[in-house]
Amino acid sequence: MSQSSEEVYIPERFEKAVTLHLLKNKLADGKNINPPLILGIDGLPGTGKTFQCRKVIEKLDFHGVSIAGSELESKEAGEPAMLIEERYIDANFTLDRRAAKGAAIIMDDLDVFIGDWGSGTQYTVNRQFIFGALMALADNPYMVGGQKTRRIPIIITGNDFTKLYEPLTRPGRFERFTWIPGKEEIIAVASSILNFADKGIVRRLVLALIDLYQKNDSKVIPISFFSHLKTMLIDDIIWDYYQNNPVLDDRANDKFKVHFNNFFETANLQEELLNKASLLSQRTTFDVHFRGNAR
């Protein structure tokens, strides 16, 4: 997948799963085919599930309507279920205004807030209403809240969908895609995030981190690690700029852009990346892993 210097690489496997879900539901609207309305993407935290969904939705010129898991908590019975229906109808208004080529609803961390986590789970009326609302949408996406609607695909992200109510996740209503990025996919994403650094350095950095995480019984390094790493570098650049330019006048933005570009064009970032990655990983052995990795 090609990208400009500012774009983050979306692995083809992930892009294909999301794109197919959106297109199947768009093409099925009013037709005699009936794909699952809900795509569930689960996997370890920090692997970019929600972020990548939003990027794919943008690429297709679809309008994304977000529902955070935290919004589904309420003291009022039935309110979270009504919220889901309202967002679904709002997405339809977008299509009526022809403001986008399609629309999709993204729900974050659903399993965290309404999943069955054993003795700590609160089995509330709202929890049942939410499952009921989602199943009703999946069974009949063309009539919601007494209004005729068009089919709006739903994407749910989470960490463990075995915690969800099983009738919701049955085939026909729910299609599951487990996202565990492979080594080369992590390298490609990290290279696009750290696009100012030499690709060979980034590759060695990623391989060393993967080895380190595996040796410490972690399944996969979070993609968010590299975004955090970039943020740490940029923080240093901003601080360095401010130390030399404490007056933030009207020209500050333009002057900072020059300072920012000069830093990435002239600095030798290998040691800086290594130092920041060592600090961020909080592993004293990381430096050895990186320097010894010649792959």
Query: What is the per-residue pLDDT across 210-226, written as a single tens digit (0 to 9) for each?
Result: 888 777 666 678 888 88
pLDDT value at 181 more than 80: yes
- 95-112 per-position pLDDT tens digit: 888 878 999 999 988 877
> Mean pLDDT of all residues in the chain?
83
**Amino acid letter for position 18:** V
The phi, psi pair for 203, rounded to 5°, reads -60, -45
How far apart CA 113 and CA 76 sit, in angstroms, is: 16
Question: Which pLDDT value is given to residue 49?
Answer: 93
CATH for 12-178, options being 3.40.50.300, 3.40.190.10, 1.10.240.10, 1.10.490.10:
3.40.50.300
Dihedral, 94, 99, 101, 104 alpha carbons, nearest 10 = -30
pLDDT value at 207 more than 50: yes
- What residues does each domain of the chain span? 12-178, 183-291
pLDDT value at 288 more than 70: no
Question: Which pLDDT value is given to residue 202?
Answer: 86
- 151-163 per-position pLDDT tens digit: 999 999 998 888 8
pLDDT value at 145 more than 90: no
Q: Which helix (H) or strand (E) holds 62?
A: strand 62-68
User: What's the pTM value of the predicted model, to 2 decimals?
Assistant: 0.82
Q: Which helix (H) or strand (E) holds 42?
A: strand 38-42
pLDDT value at 10 more than 80: yes
- Any residues with CB less than 8 A from the CB of 154 and at least 6 apart, and which? 37, 38, 39, 104, 105, 106, 107, 134, 137, 138
DSSP-derived 3-state class of residue 279: helix
Nearest Cα residue to 24 out of 121, 150, 153: 153
- pLDDT category of residue 24 using cuts at 50, 70 and 90: very high
